[in-house]
């Protein structure tokens, strides 16, 4: 849009492109030397579908080298609308003609805004050429050269697959050339030099420069580079003396330094000296772990002895389990060690009620159970394990009465271990089991209101039932903000558009990506450059790319597409969502050779899938995970790509390479491991049959009967959504699919219409059916908590059961109301 004329903005926004073109033509006659209106003319042509004319107009304008920045940005937008790549980058072409410092700076800003690493490299290199003639100070010239050097580093580290072999070899050398005559006085400057020397294969020179700088300044980041360089070069004598210096002389009790110290000692024949250092060192967590690390290099230091030593010293500390899990593996037998400590700490008296629990007791018992389960996961299959968890929890829960607000109570892990064990032992994750688990967790949360993991597990379980309002309210209580919307919103957004019409959370996530990320992250990169925090530059650039190409961002757009379709909000899809999906389709095809280490050229899955499992034994239990994923399975990459392609096939019919959408969609559907539900697979099959020219539709899967199951709402939302997809195709481009295609779609739509009509007629009875199901479950669950040996261990009262069922009934009613809206 234009800042020059609001009238044209309004006309374009109303999609009256004929009128817009007329007004722009008048503006060109009125201001024949204003390049912007020529670019605007090309944009209007592109928006109206006259792609070839738009490209010709844009190329003609670019050939005249317009230097107005707003015009150049609009030209770039035009080329993107036309899916056309000019022979030369717009800013690059014009900057060659007018190599002014200001124009090239605008080019750099634009490259940063659009996470264009190679554009940053070219722009900063061009700045070094223009800076001398622009009257800049020596200090500014140094800054620009450092920017250029850092950009060469970025190009090699972040998008190596996009470079030619000669560039991979040449760029580090050019980066070093930029700074060879500069006095590098700060750690960030030396960091860039070090990374370029490493990329150039100049390891000896790199180690020399790092070593010299570290003698003057103790910088953590450079120290890590130096240690890694010495290890890579197998300079174990130097590595040993250096790590010893930091441990002993500098008193830096760092675990990574300890590991390298012992490794280098073993390779350089100085293990005896290292052992004396460890033994004479102050007793700290890391020095005691170093004794355990010694068992890797010397038989004189048996692992079991030092595991026992560590448990004796730190068994009552939260650090024990994560520390020992480095050394103790599944299958190791440490039962005797644990039992000795169990007796030493007088745990039997605690469990018999003859003494009160202490904070040290609860932490030890948590560590005790976690280590036993970690080394022998078959315990999760044992009913006795559940009983033990309950016994430990009941013995230590008097401490809950002393908790102040937000205080942490480690005993919640007994309940998490119990939940995992119950799911393991169940043949399947059915509604009855889920309700039992929810009641256990809700009762635990009542006494420990701020425990993050309890809420995550509850949200996950609620999402397996038709109770979106419960999982939504719990998620809101987590106060998730900013970057966490990218990493940890998936439990609440996964298929949310197929169970509710509420899009507030989806819109919040969309706002985070489209406003917060777009405005704030590029500024962070700018600040890195201007403050010369060049050691942080790559991290911020990769952070930007990860957010701009985020799995969550794309899945959120897909959910918004579903929601917009249900409310017949076609303009939202055409104007806002379709261009975004096309952009990401093009992006994941832009760098087919990108490596696992690179974040450029692919969808980046930033979802935090580990925090959910960072309790219990801190390891994903495959059986539990499989059962959780049997209902509302988490999206995977194949799912994401299939759904993006489906939307583009429906809405992007004029895309020049439209046939590519269809071909890739069929290949993915037939060969992918997409995490689809049965109704989703059927829904996609309609598109598959349409593309293949088949005339008979697959049978629609049978509707779920249990209103409490997630799949009940999900089924009917998906059926209605599929019908709206078909109606859109028939109304907007049915003729392109031929007579047989139209016939197929009408046949499917007729089936769906009958199904939807029948459901709507029966929907008035859903609340009665829901109450009947819940009444049956309540009897069974109440009996289990009273009479079952395991159920009674939780000491859940009838009042607590009633409260939970009242809450579930209310949430299920809200889900029924949502169903009646569609």
* Range 553-578 average pLDDT: 92
Backbone angle region of 135, left / alpha / beta, with phi > 0 → left and psi within -120 to 50 → alpha? left
Nearest alpha carbon to residue 261 among 303, 217, 250, 283: 250
Decide if 535 contacts 221 (C-beta within 8 A). Answer: yes
- Of 98, 115, 149, the last residue of a domain is 98
Domain annotation covers residue 518: no
Among 545, 482, 575, residue whose Cα is nearest residue 114: 545
Residue 224 belongs to a domain: no
Q: Is residue 732 part of a domain?
A: no
Could you tell me what percent of the chain has a pLDDT over 70?
Answer: 98
Lowest mean pLDDT among 112-121, 577-586, 736-745: 577-586
Question: In angstroms, rounded to a whole number, what is the distance separating the alpha carbons of residues 317 and 125?
Answer: 53
Last residue of a domain, one of 65, 98, 131: 98
What pLDDT does 4 receive?
A: 61
Rounded CA separation 624/333 (Å): 24
Confidence at residue 49, expressed as pLDDT on a 0 to 100 scale: 87
For residues 154 and 195, give the distance between their C-alpha atoms in angstroms, rounded to a whole number: 10
Q: Is residue 31 part of a domain?
A: yes
Q: Tell me which residue of 172, 126, 171, 170 sits closest to 145, measured CA to CA.
A: 126
pLDDT at residue number 1: 41
Task: Output the CA–CA distances (angstroms, integers) from residue 737 to 75, 651, 654, 694, in the order listed.
Answer: 34, 14, 14, 11
Tokens read off for 377: 């996961």
> Is the pLDDT at 186 greater than 60, yes or no?
yes
Question: Could you read off the pLDDT of 436-463 as tens digits, one per residue?
Answer: 999 999 999 998 888 999 999 999 999 9
The dihedral sign for the CA sequence 58, 651, 647, 684: negative
Report yes or no on 431 lying in a domain.
yes
| Number of Cβ atoms within 10 Å of the Cβ of 774 | 20
Is the CB of residue 211 less than 8 Å from the CB of residue 226?
Answer: yes
**pTM, rounded to two decimals:** 0.93
Q: What are the tens digits of pLDDT across the range 475-518?
A: 999 999 899 999 999 999 999 999 999 999 999 999 999 999 99
pLDDT of residue 447: 87
Report residue 674's pLDDT band, with 50, 70 and 90 as the boundaries.
confident
DSSP annotation of 397: G
Q: Is residue 20 part of a domain?
A: yes
Final residue belonging to a domain, choices 445, 471, 488: 488
Task: Convert the pLDDT of each residue in 703-732 to its tens digit.
Answer: 999 999 999 999 999 999 999 999 999 999
18: containing domain? 1-98
Could you tell me the CATH number of the domain that includes residue 67?
1.25.40.10
Beta bridge partner(s), residue 427: none
Look at 358-367, 621-630, 666-675 and tell me which has the smallest mean pLDDT. 666-675
Q: Does some domain include residue 770? A: no
Provide the number of structural domains found in the chain.
2
What is the Cα–Cα distance from 793 to 786, expressed in whole angstroms?
9
Domain-located, residue 557: no
Q: What is the pLDDT of residue 578?
A: 87
Rounded average pLDDT over 399-419 = 91
d(CA 766, CA 593): 52
């Amino acid at each position: 849009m234009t800042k020059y004329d609001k009238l044209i903005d309004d006309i374009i926004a109303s999609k009256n492109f004929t009128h817009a073109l007329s007004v722009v033509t008048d503006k060109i006659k009125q201001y024949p030397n204003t390049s912007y209106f020529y670019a605007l003319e090309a944009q209007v042509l592109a928006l109206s579908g006259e792609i070839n004319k738009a490209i010709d107009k844009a190329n003609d304008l670019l050939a005249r080298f317009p230097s107005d920045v707003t015009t150049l940005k609009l030209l770039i937008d035009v080329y993107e609308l036309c899916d056309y790549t000019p022979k030369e980058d717009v800013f690059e072409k014009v900057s060659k003609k007018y190599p002014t410092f200001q124009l090239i700076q605008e080019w750099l800003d634009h490259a940063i805004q659009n996470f264009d690493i190679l554009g940053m490299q070219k722009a900063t290199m061009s700045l070094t050429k223009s800076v001398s003639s622009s009257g800049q100070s020596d200090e500014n010239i140094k800054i620009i050269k450092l920017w250029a050097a850092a950009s060469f580093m970025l190009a090699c580290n972040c998008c190596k697959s996009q470079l030619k072999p000669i560039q991979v070899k040449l760029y580090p050398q050019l980066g070093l050339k930029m700074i060879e005559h500069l006095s590098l006085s700060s750690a960030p400057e030396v960091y860039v030099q070090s990374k370029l020397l490493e990329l150039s294969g100049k390891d000896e020179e790199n180690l020399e420069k790092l070593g010299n700088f570290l003698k003057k300044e103790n910088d953590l980041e450079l120290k890590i580079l130096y240690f890694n360089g010495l290890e890579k070069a197998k300079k174990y004598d130097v590595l040993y003396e250096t790590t010893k210096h930091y441990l002993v002389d500098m008193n830096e009790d760092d675990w990574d330094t300890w590991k390298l110290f012992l490794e280098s000692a073993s390779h350089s024949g100085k293990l005896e000296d290292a052992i004396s250092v460890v033994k004479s060192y102050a007793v700290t967590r890391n020095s005691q772990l170093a004794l355990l690390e010694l068992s890797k290099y010397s038989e004189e230091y048996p692992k079991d002895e030092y595991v026992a030593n560590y448990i004796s010293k730190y068994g009552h500390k939260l650090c024990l389990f994560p520390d020992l899990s480095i050394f103790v593996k599944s299958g190791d037998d440490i039962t005797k060690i644990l039992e000795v400590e169990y007796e030493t700490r007088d745990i039997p008296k605690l469990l018999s009620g003859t003494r009160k629990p202490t904070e040290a007791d609860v932490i030890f018992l948590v560590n005790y159970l976690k280590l036993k389960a970690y080394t022998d996961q078959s315990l999760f299959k044992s009913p006795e394990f559940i009983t033990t968890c309950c016994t430990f929890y009941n013995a230590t829960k008097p401490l809950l009465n002393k908790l102040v607000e937000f205080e942490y109570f480690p005993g919640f892990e007994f309940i998490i271990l119990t939940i995992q064990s119950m799911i393991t032992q169940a043949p399947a994750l059915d509604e009855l089991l889920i309700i039992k688990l929810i009641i256990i967790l809700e009762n635990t949360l009542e006494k420990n209101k701020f425990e993050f993991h309890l809420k995550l597990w509850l949200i996950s379980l609620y999402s397996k039932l038709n109770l979106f309002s419960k999982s939504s309210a719990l998620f809101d209580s987590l106060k998730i903000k900013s970057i966490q919307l990218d990493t940890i919103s998936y439990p609440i957004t996964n298929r949310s558009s197929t169970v509710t019409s509420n899009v507030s959370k989806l819109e919040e996530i969309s706002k985070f990506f489209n406003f917060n990320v777009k405005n704030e992250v590029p500024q962070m990169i700018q600040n890195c450059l201007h403050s010369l925090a060049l050691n942080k530059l790559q991290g911020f650039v990769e952070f930007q790319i990860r957010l701009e190409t985020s799995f969550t961002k794309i899945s959120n757009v897909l959910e918004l597409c579903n929601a917009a379709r249900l409310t017949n909000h076609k303009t939202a899809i055409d104007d806002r969502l379709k261009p975004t999906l096309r952009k990401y389709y093009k992006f994941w095809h832009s760098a087919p050779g990108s490596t696992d280490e690179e974040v450029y050229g692919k969808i980046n899955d930033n979802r935090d899938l580990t925090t959910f499992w960072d309790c219990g034994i801190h390891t994903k239990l495959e059986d539990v995970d499989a059962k959780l994923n049997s209902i509302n399975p988490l999206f995977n990459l194949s799912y994401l790509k299939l759904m993006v392609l489906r939307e583009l096939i429906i809405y992007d019919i004029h895309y020049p390479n439209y046939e590519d959408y269809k071909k890739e969609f069929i290949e993915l559907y037939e060969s992918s491991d997409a995490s689809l539900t049965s109704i989703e697979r059927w829904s996609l099959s309609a598109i598959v049959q349409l593309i293949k020219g088949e005339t008979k539709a697959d049978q629609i899967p049978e509707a779920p009967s249990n209103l409490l199951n997630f799949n009940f709402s999900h089924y009917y939302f998906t059926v209605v959504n599929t019908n709206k997809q078909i109606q859109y195709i028939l109304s907007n481009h049915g003729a392109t699919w031929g007579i047989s295609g139209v016939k197929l779609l009408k046949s499917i739509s007729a089936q769906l219409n009958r199904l939807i009509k029948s459901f709507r007629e029966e929907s008035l009875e859903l609340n009665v059916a829901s109450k009947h199901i819940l009444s049956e479950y309540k009897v069974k669950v109440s009996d289990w908590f009273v009479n079952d040996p395991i159920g009674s261990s939780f000491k859940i009262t009838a009042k607590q059961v009633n409260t939970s069922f009242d809450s579930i009934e209310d949430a299920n009613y809200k889900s029924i109301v949502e169903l009646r809206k569609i």
